[in-house]
Structure 1
Amino acid sequence: MKAVSLFSNCGAGDVGYRNAGFDFRVMAELDPNRLAVALANHPLAVGVPGDLRSTWSKVVEQWHLAEPDRRPDLLAACPPCQGMSTARSGLGSHDDHEAGGRDSRNLLVTVIEAVARQLKPRAIVVENVPAFLTRSVPHPETGGPVSAALLLVELLRADYKVFAISADLADWGVPQTRKRSFLTLIRNDEKGLETSSGFAPFPRPSHASDWGGKHVSIKESLTELAAGSLDASTAARAADPTKPMHFVPVWGERQYKMVQAIPANSGKGAWSNDGCSVCAVKSVDPDEAVCRSCGEPLLRPVVKGDKSWRLVKGFRTTSYTRMKSDSPASTITTASGRVGSDITIHPWENRLLSPLECAHLQTLPTDFEWGDALKKHGHSNLREMIGEAVPPRFTELHGRAILNFLSGTNESSLLPCEDSRALKAREALRRANAKVGTKSVQE
């Protein structure tokens, strides 16, 4: 099977589809550094660097040069998700389409439609955050509200049948909480639409509790990796010279003590530290920043104000917080190297997770080729690539499900259309469609 990848990042998610039987012939990515990593892992592919709004026709051209007599079996696309987040300043309300239009990346589904229109792939996969299904953005023609997912459905509904899920990838054995939405579009002339009626081209959730499964915990995953202990107290203890990707930032004395005071494996944050490091008097008030006995700042996230110490504002339930060892890891994000981000502290060691551990929790294979990405572009760039990857453990299962659906075989491996994950996505699209106020988009 032959495939095309748009918004390829480092090509990690495409590794899963490749393992399922899809060879990528063209890969397109804005960042040339990321594209270099992707091509190192997909040597049969030709790379198209740059903004796809300008370069999508080159993708089509390169496909026809590589495969002049066939259409792609798969078009995989993972457009940027940052503009979908209502947590980012300037994006306004989730239902404010004008605010949603301030980030032009929210309309990149039009690129997917343009390539699909030219190449006519048998199947299309689009991955994004759950808000992709419902976040209001301005329609490129009418200016009215529409979600990016509904827009793509509208543009391709004449030629494709759309299936969707909204789910946590931990349900498929990914050892982290990773809530995502997927659209899978199957071309209307595919026989699988008849032979696989009642099923969707998604894999059954092997590790979901409602399917008799159990999530993989971070403790199980890190034990499997066996990367070795690190400690953020000194540079010598914060890195393993034998494993280039196994290193963490070094913390100052106060920050280290603050994390050290959080009980191991507890899932708690430094916000609940109640003991004064100077006089040992305990504080019973969670809003206190200083010790009521000696006046020294508590081992909590505090800053010095005009007159006295105060607690850091915001993210009090997730920042400066340990992961729970008996649960899947928290979502691996681009900010995995920051202690003040969302739940990034190692469950039982006094440090963050290393890039090696983050890649493992993202289910990247041990032989994934990073080349000189770390040496040339630094750990922040590496962590961003890892955080934005689609876990190949899921995409391999997804790729197999698509193949089974297209061939009309092995229905026992496919997700029933009435599964809660499919129902949740359909309901989200129905709600978004109702807010549009038109009948231009069918369910």
Structure 2
Amino acid sequence: MRSVELFAGGGGLTLGTHKAGFSTEVVAEWNHWCCDTLRENRDAGYPLVKGIDVREGDLRRIDWSKLPEGVDLVSGGPPCQPFSGGGKGNAADDERDMFPATTEVIRELRPRAFIIENVRGLLRPGFSDYYNYIRLRLAHPELRAAHDESWGDHFDRLQSEDTAARSDLQYKVLPTLVNAADYGVPQQRWRVFFVGFRADVNAEWHFPRETHSAAALRAAQEDGSYWDRHEVARKHRDFRLRTARDSNTTLSPWLTVRDALVGLPAPGSTAVLNHVPQPGAKSYPGHTGSYIDAPAKTLKAGVHGVPGGENMLRNVDGKVRYFTVREAARLQTFPDDYRLHGPWSEAMRQLGNAVPVDLASVVARSVRDRLNAATFRDNRTTRIAG
């Protein structure tokens, strides 16, 4: 199935959609370091990015009309800074808000489905109207804002259209908040996914159910199976993950930093890509690192001084150090043979902005399966009618 990737970054969504069976034809990304990562892996023959057309620059300047019709999927993660808790929270008033541009691409390509991802901050109460505005814009991509029309006025018009029975290009949009740790990613990373299917596609889709839980990890720590599997000394087995009372013990255990780093040699090994140590890590209140026997905190695109110390490893002895690029890539479930281009700070920025590959694959595979099923139903109906 054919797909197009917007705001591709270092390739998390691209790799995930390829694993799920989509063939990404064009990836759009403005950051030069990210584009070099994509091109370098493509030119080296890495199979999951084989043959991709990397368009570096502003996606609003790409002539999408030259792409052959019949795109099945548009995916992407517009810049999160307008909605991130670490930013100014200017939403529509932030020039980096690329949801309107995303909708324009969907309008032009008319894909059968889309997967759009962003930060949990988008759900903050202060953004509630704009969040609903985004959902309606994605649902009605042909209803463009008029010249000098405010987003509030456009929102009113979209609401009126959404409750009317007209026949513009429409998508059925299902927004879902998920924690990547619940899907086998060794990192607590909350994200909002907008998954939409074109109205003429009978997808019968729901968001994939969780496969992993905090309670199952705590149970494995309590019965000793987690510690035995990693051959952890008894003096270091006191830690127990905190869990919610309703967490499901029947699922697989959340994966931890220790799980993610299995098989990696000590930082500095030249046998492993991007595994160079980075000095200077320090622990202080609010900056304590990710504990080795729990899922990592959310990796961030910043580097030194990131709030919460998300880019540091905290070992059982309390000592901290920065994750190498390869270790951070493991936490984002990037393949070990996928090279991140650029110095440590730029590579970490690519990873901090990325969608975990395995989470992207789970979501994209569920979309592909429903598109296949919808195609089968449509073809079967056509044969019976004929």
Distance across 2 between alignment mates of 1:125 and 1:48 = 19
Percent identical pairs in the alignment equals: 26
Q: Which residue type is aligned with residue 217 of structure 1?
A: T
- Look up the match of 2:333: 363
C-alpha spacing 1:149/1:112, structure 2 compared with 1 (3 Å): same
Q: Is 2:65 aligned against 1:61?
A: yes
- Look up the match of 2:210: 205
- Look up the match of 2:378: none
Q: Is 2:119 aligned against 1:150?
A: no
- Look up the match of 1:247: 276
- Look up the match of 1:15: 15
Deviations, residues 55-114 of structure 1 (Å, cap 9, x unaligned): 14x2x13423xxxxx3111000210101212433x44xxxxxxx43442122x1111211
- Look up the match of 1:29: 29
- After TM superposition, the structure 1 = structure 2 runs for residues 71-220 of structure 1, keeping only pairs within 5 Å, are 71-88=70-87, 90-91=88-89, 99-106=90-97, 108-134=98-124, 146-147=130-131, 149-153=134-138, 155-156=140-141, 158=168, 159-192=170-203, 196=204, 199-200=205-206, 202-208=207-213, 209-210=247-248, 212-213=250-251, 214-220=253-259
Deviations, residues 241-281 of structure 1 (Å, cap 9, x unaligned): 44351123223xxx7xxx5xxxxxxxxxx45xxxxxxxxxx
C-alpha spacing 1:133/1:62, structure 2 compared with 1 (3 Å): farther
- Contact map agreement 2:83 2:122 (CA 8 A) in 1: yes
- Contact map agreement 1:31 1:49 (CA 8 A) in 2: yes
Q: Residue 289 of structure 2: which of 291, 299, 322 is its match?
A: 322
Q: Residue 351 of structure 1: which of 321, 325, 329 is its match?
A: 321
- Contact map agreement 1:134 1:149 (CA 8 A) in 2: no
Distance across 1 between alignment mates of 2:121 and 2:249 = 25
C-alpha spacing 1:135/1:43, structure 2 compared with 1 (3 Å): farther
C-alpha spacing 1:116/1:62, structure 2 compared with 1 (3 Å): same
Distance across 1 between alignment mates of 2:347 and 2:195 = 29
Deviations, residues 335-386 of structure 1 (Å, cap 9, x unaligned): 355476534332225411111100011000112144xx23xxx211111111
- Contact map agreement 1:4 1:27 (CA 8 A) in 2: yes
- Contact map agreement 1:12 1:391 (CA 8 A) in 2: yes
Q: Is 2:52 aligned against 1:45?
A: yes
- After TM superposition, the structure 1 = structure 2 runs for residues 273-292 of structure 1, keeping only pairs within 5 Å, are none
- Look up the match of 1:233: none
- Look up the match of 2:230: none
Q: Is 2:379 aligned against 1:342?
A: no
Distance across 2 between alignment mates of 1:32 and 1:322 = 29
- Contact map agreement 1:336 1:352 (CA 8 A) in 2: no
Q: Is 2:297 aligned against 1:228?
A: no
- After TM superposition, the structure 1 = structure 2 runs for residues 331-410 of structure 1, keeping only pairs within 5 Å, are 331-336=298-303, 338=305, 342-348=309-315, 350-370=320-340, 373-374=341-342, 378-408=343-373
* SS of aligned partner of 1:190: coil
Distance across 2 between alignment mates of 1:327 and 1:126 = 28
Q: Which residue type is aligned with residue 210 of structure 2?
A: P
Distance across 2 between alignment mates of 1:101 and 1:328 = 33
Deviations, residues 166-187 of structure 1 (Å, cap 9, x unaligned): 0101000000000000000001
C-alpha spacing 1:25/1:338, structure 2 compared with 1 (3 Å): same
- Contact map agreement 2:139 2:172 (CA 8 A) in 1: no
Q: CA deviation at 1:151?
A: 4.8
* SS of aligned partner of 1:210: coil
Please identify the structure whose Cα radius of gyration is greater: 1
Q: CA deviation at 1:126?
A: 0.3
Relative to structure 2, which stretch is displaced further, 203-212 or 176-185?
A: 203-212
Distance across 2 between alignment mates of 1:246 and 1:162 = 40
TM-score, normalised via structure 1 length: 0.63
Deviations, residues 193-215 of structure 1 (Å, cap 9, x unaligned): xxx2xx41x32211134372221
Runs of 4+ aligned residues of structure 1 deviating over 4 Å after TM superposition are 133-138, 336-341
Q: CA deviation at 1:329?
A: 0.9
* SS of aligned partner of 1:82: coil
Deviations, residues 198-241 of structure 1 (Å, cap 9, x unaligned): x41x3221113437222111111112xx22234xxxxxxxx334
Distance across 2 between alignment mates of 1:136 and 1:62 = 39
The gaps in structure 2 that reach 5 residues or longer are 43-48, 142-161, 163-167, 214-246, 375-386
- Look up the match of 1:4: 4
- Contact map agreement 2:171 2:197 (CA 8 A) in 1: yes
The gaps in structure 1 that reach 5 residues or longer are 65-69, 92-98, 139-144, 231-238, 260-269, 272-315, 410-443
Q: Which residue type is aligned with residue 146 of structure 1?
A: Y
User: What is the root-mean-square deviation in Å for CA atoms of aligned residues?
Assistant: 2.5
Distance across 2 between alignment mates of 1:129 and 1:211 = 27
* SS of aligned partner of 1:128: strand
Distance across 1 between alignment mates of 2:23 and 2:363 = 15
* SS of aligned partner of 1:390: coil
